[in-house]
Amino acid sequence: MNLEKVIFGFFTIFACTLNFGFFLGDMDRPEMHHPSELFAAIVVNLIALVIKFGDRTQLGATHLATSLVATLQLLAAAMVWLWTVQLQGQAMDAEAMSVIVSMSGGALLANLVSVTLLIGETLRQGR
């Protein structure tokens, strides 16, 4: 068993599941989307992004691209949250939360592509 591949797979899948946890729930209900969940998803996506820098293959480049997309989407969602609550001083409303959750959904899609690539690569190497 290759520890590097275990760590790579762990953070790729963990990033996806954390993102899914934040994304799940009604878009317009802020109480269903906790900021700590978004923060955890951002941190794990950043770790996954850093891990993916080492691979110099075409598949590695695609993994890196999906991680970049997911991280940028989640950071943008956090910026909307910060802008709404801290800079404008407003309570989180349905409109702002729907934007945040939509961006998280884009990141989730990028994470799902990365997990799909990981599974495909694992199945291909098993033969």
Residue 126: the pLDDT is 63
Q: Which domain holds residue 15?
A: 3-125
Number of domains, the chain: 1
pLDDT tops 90 at residue 111: yes
pTM for the structure as a whole: 0.91
Using only the alpha carbons of the chain, give its radius of gyration. 16
Over residues 72-81, the pLDDT tens digits come to: 999 999 999 9
| Backbone φ/ψ region at 34: left (φ over 0), alpha (ψ -120 to 50), beta | beta
Over residues 1-54, the pLDDT tens digits come to: 789 889 999 999 999 999 999 999 888 888 899 999 999 999 999 999 999 887
